[in-house]
Chains A and B, each alone.
Chain A
Amino acid sequence: MSTPELVTVTIDDRAVQVPKGTGLVETALAAGVEIPVFCYEPRLGPAVGACRMCLVEVEGMPKLQAGCTLTAQDGMTVRTAQTSAKAADGQNATLEFLLVNHPLDCPVCDKGGECPLQDLTFRYGPGRTRMTFPKLTFDKPIPISPTIALDRERCILCYRCTRFSEGVSEDGELVTVNRGAQSMIATFEDEPYRGRFSGNVIELCPVGALTSTQYRFLARPWEIQNVPSVCGLCPVGCNIDVTTREGKVKRVLSRNHPEVDEGWLCDKGRFAFSHPHARDRITEPLRRVRRRGFEELSWDDAVDEAERMLRAAGTRIVTALSGSETIEQAYALGKLLRQGLGAHAAVLPEETSTALDALRLPLSAIRDAELVVVVGDQPVEERAPVVDLWLRAARRRGAEIVTIGPTGSIQTPPGSAPQVCRDLAAENNELGRRLRGGQRSIVIWSGPDGRGGEHIAALAHALGLADVAGSGAFYLPDTPNGRGVADAWSAVADGEPADPEPIALLIVSGDEAAANPGVRALAERAEMVLAITMFQGLAVGWADLVLPGTSYLERDGTYMNLEGRVQRLRRTVIPPAPDELAWLAKLAGRFGVELSPHPSLVFEDVSARLFGGLAFADIAATAALPTRAKAAPRPPLPEPEPQLGGDGLRLLRYRSLFSGAAVERVAELQFQRPAREVEISPEDAAAKGIASGNEVAVRHNGTSVALRATLNRRLAPGVVRIADEHAGDLGARVEVGRA
């Protein structure tokens, strides 16, 4: 890349050199000068010049200019309010106009104390009002969804929210209606704002017009702490600031990591933080007495009990991991069980492939790609939502995005992704040829689980993407830290896992493992079950000993996200029970295994084996991505598994973003959960005489599920799609008919 031409700009008599074309707001910042803004937000696309807060004087131009719409040109001389009376008057006037119809109800406004309108009025605005007429009023607040409230009187019409909805999440649900002073923000057709990213508009809003229903009237900026951490609800690992007050989490804000999330969060990551306060949260150890009864026991007794169970089971233990444990937790479990007891058998959350390390890229590379091919059965936005935003950004920049799957731009039957990878790798495949020839080609595997990482890595290696700096591959895992957990577990010891039969003890680590039907089936075969979960609903009833689990918001430690980036979780609030590391360390001591209860020390141990000795303290608040590994010899493309035949329609189950133990426990998110629907292609619907909205029965082998049909034009014929939580016990082939 050529280095950009540097230009010199003088702002308030300070000369500064910046690359030509740098925004004037950023140029001024480089010179240490503030150009105040409201509507300007480069992440939302080109400047719109709406609010006129940024008026500056530019030499050679008679009128004041909106600084946010200008870029640095050589020799430009700019004066802001600091050195130009005209610019100061312009900015002062903008604030006066903004306040003409603003209610100024700061004392009861959630934004008060962290409000750009307050701050800029204080710095640049008039001290008193000249407005003596009744102000415009609107009904307020209006719930535009169960999570967001809108106060139209406070709105300054900067159009950040509507630009986000139109140009970033591209849901188009937030719009402006009416014109002039009567303009107002509304949802399309007054429907609730139902999107995966709606909450970002709360943070974008520079005033208290869009507020979080979960945070309303709960705290003041001067009595809160913001703790930097990362989201633990999916493998993206968005960086967050967790707002706490008096030991409780009050909200989650984005914390811009330009390579990971660009400052966006999905609504699950933003709004699900209240799950630790769910009514069925387990705060004390529980022991099964009689058939379905439970009693609480003290921690000392619980650790004794666990020790007794472990000693009795010896090596005949199977450990089922969730992929939501921290690296340190997984390592500690491994140390106790593998080193202490020689119990190597584990059910790992998912398979991982190290071949991907040679194809590593930051997520932001997707935005800069020319061609992205996504293969797999699951929509990206359900598995790794923020990746969907990167894909949309890429498309807006002119990249071609090809999705190959049952709902893809190229439709293939469920389960065909391995075959697709083989086809793309073939010399004569047109799309493969273009991937191979590109400078910025990216391939992504988006479900189903299993050997996806291996398939996509083999494809990418076959296409030579490892040799091109801007090209690479991503595997979208099922769990937030599946790779970190698997790596930590395997780094502990070398012992060969032998499947014990019978299983003397099943250890269920975490909520996802507890909710996994495969793990439940193992529990049937196990003599004893020890579960670590957060909620009553998950393991109480079939575990013999339940130890309270903690949330990602309550732990210190590290996660590895889908890029392979190791990021710090911070304890934002104290958990209601000792965390996993604390009692694991105690238990380990009883088996002569030395284990620290401190994540930083455990990490040191792991890091020496996995991360080249990276120090805990050196993981930056915005963590770096390890450099690409050297390309190993090309892995062979795995054989696709044979496709099962049979009659009827293929059932494609998917896990909605808005599912899982945390989401189920947050009242405000219930409206986002998937409807009781079966999606069907227009062709199949027509053949069966089904219309959108019809009640239908979906049958398989004697089981029948009643659902509402909805037509999905993007769905391949011969396939129906149902959210996991509504699919019951249905098998892979189903019949659909009018109820």
Chain B
Amino acid sequence: MPLRELVLEGAGERDLTKLGEYREVGGYAALERALGMDPGKVIEEITVGTLRGRGGAGFPMGRKASLIAKGSPNPTYLVVNADESEPGAFKDRQIMGTVPHRLIEGCLITAHGIESRSVFIYIRGEYLHEFEVMRAALEETRGADLLGGITIVLHRGAGAYICGEETALLESLEGKRGQPRTRPPYPPITGLYASPTQINNVQTIATVPKIIELGGAEFAKIGPQNSPGTAVFSLSGNVVRPGNYELELGTSLRELIYDIGGGVAGGRELKAIIPGGSSVPVLTPEQLDTPLDFDSIAAAGSFLGSAAVMVIDDRCCMVQLALRVSKFYMHESCGKCTPCREGTRWLVQLLDRLEGGQGTQADLDLLDSVCARMLGRSLCALGDFAVYPVSSYMEKYRDEFQAHVDEAGCPFGGESSVEGILAPVDQHSHHKTVEVPA
């Protein structure tokens, strides 16, 4: 299966960060067309195109837009989620770094569609380079009078994964502590500054120009019926050619990992696959033929999530991996709700003891129980994200967990390939020292 580039189209050949180059490949033509359309018609095309959100949940963008409160006395806002912080995900980084104008064009079209005059792009704080590329592109757009009176604000995050959760993102944008809100009310009714707000992922928005260009009906023909279009898959872990690959949805895991990624590095055995970023349940090699689209991955018991595919070879200790992932979620739990705040820490303590060889059979039971008692009870999805990896590793690689008890230690010792899969959380730097551009 070849690459199918809609969002990244042309970036391999030209420097599309430049407005001139982008216009040469037809950039901003979709905007012009959209501006000639009725706002409702723009949303209709997106709805017909069945564009599902690429930020994780796969919620249809058109449906979200239709929920925007009409007749509110407050302005309507568009917010773009560029906080990409899920371990394994780095697609939005490439989109902003190589096709910034496509994102800006998508913003302007969407803003027209939902009749918004203000757009906020919330960019992960560590993405300084991408921020600067976006800023330069925005300057050019402004200079070329393409904004049409719409204000686009670039906002840099301050290093919190939770601020990718849409309501925490809104709080953070409002200058408050980044913690999720309870829902309802939902953002389309009461979002940023208590006003109707559309929130979408970078890639979702960057796909919008293509839908306008092709027409929704034509777009819907790409890929599977219920998950049309492409996704930029971030392939990482123990694989020969890691990187971002834009493919039609519905491409199988096998095609991505073997045909495109060159297979498991060093000729090792494939042990496990994480199909959608560190937060989703793990898949096993028997599930290699699962198509990468929202519904097929869900049917296989996991989530497409942020389309970050992580390849795990046979040297990897699943307890070590679980510990790494758990430390990440403990570190990133915002602390607002009880099960996640307390549970994430407890999980780390238990896994740490297990990996250190002091774990008992009772600890295994307790791990199961803590997972079960956290699942579905937290305020936001992070509480579940912290559970899925641990509970799925335990379910599918039970023997390995058992071995840690039976052998009073880790069978893999320092030989595990975990380093090649996930960096420890204390290596996360928050670029405290970078100068904040005015």
Contacts and interface: CB of A to CB of B under 8 A. Distances in A.
A94 B182 contact: no
Given A89-B373, A180-B334, 20 more contacts: A49-B337, A50-B337, A50-B379, A52-B339, A63-B376, A97-B339, A97-B342, A97-B373, A130-B369, A133-B346, A133-B349, A157-B335, A176-B335, A178-B335, A179-B333, A179-B335, A180-B345, A182-B335, A183-B334, A183-B335
Interface in A127-181: 130-131, 133, 136, 156-157, 159, 175-176, 178-181
Nearest to A130: B366
B330 A181 contact: yes
A98 B373 CA distance: 13
B182 A49 contact: yes
A131 B346 contact: yes
Contacts of A182: 335
B24 to A, nearest CB: 46
A98 B338 contact: yes
B379 A49 contact: yes
Nearest to B178: A179
A51 B377 contact: no
Nearest to B180: A49
B339 A94 contact: yes
A621 interface: no
B23 interface: no
Interface in B370-418: 373-374, 376-379
Given A93-B377, A180-B332, A52 B337 contact: yes
B30 interface: no
B346 A180 contact: no
B321 to A, nearest CB: 20
Nearest to A47: B182
B251 interface: no
Contact of A63 (B182, B332, B333, B377): B377
Contacts of A649: none
8 contacts: A49-B182, A66-B379, A69-B182, A90-B377, A93-B374, A156-B338, A179-B334, A180-B334
A94 B341 contact: no
Interface string A62-84: 11101001000000000000000
Main secondary structure of the interface of B (DSSP, over half): helix
Given A63-B376, A100-B346, A48 B182 contact: yes
A424 to B, nearest CB: 28
A534 B138 CA distance: 73
B268 interface: no
B170 to A, nearest CB: 14
Contacts of A93: 339, 373-374, 377
A679 interface: no
Given A64-B377, A94-B377, A157 B182 contact: no
Interface string A91-111: 001101110110000000000
B219 to A, nearest CB: 32
Nearest to A159: B336
Interface of A: 46-53, 55, 62-64, 66, 69, 89-90, 93-94, 96-98, 100-101, 130-131, 133, 136, 156-157, 159, 175-176, 178-183
B344 interface: yes
Contact of A179 (B160, B182, B337, B379): B160
A136 B335 CA distance: 14
Nearest to A99: B342
Given A178-B335, A181-B344, A52 B330 contact: no
Nearest to A134: B349
A66 B335 contact: no
B221 interface: no
Contacts of A63: 376-377
Interface string B338-356: 1101111110010001000
B242 to A, nearest CB: 30
A55 B377 contact: yes
B331 interface: yes
Contacts of B341: 97, 157, 180-181, 183
Contact of B333 (A49, A52, A100, A180): A180
B286 to A, nearest CB: 28
A80 B162 CA distance: 30
Contacts of B339: 52, 93-94, 97
Contacts of A181: 330, 333, 335, 341-342, 344-345
B338 A97 contact: yes
Contact of A180 (B335, B366, B373): B335
B177 interface: yes
Nearest to A133: B349
A182 B345 CA distance: 10
A52 B342 contact: no
Contacts of B374: 93
A158 to B, nearest CB: 9
Contacts of A156: 338
A159 B335 CA distance: 11
B366 A52 contact: no
Contacts of A46: 182
A101 B162 CA distance: 23
A181 B339 CA distance: 11
Contacts of B376: 62-64
A47 B379 CA distance: 12
Contacts of A97: 338-339, 341-343, 346, 373
Given A100-B342, A181-B344, A51 B337 contact: yes
A94 to B, nearest CB: 5
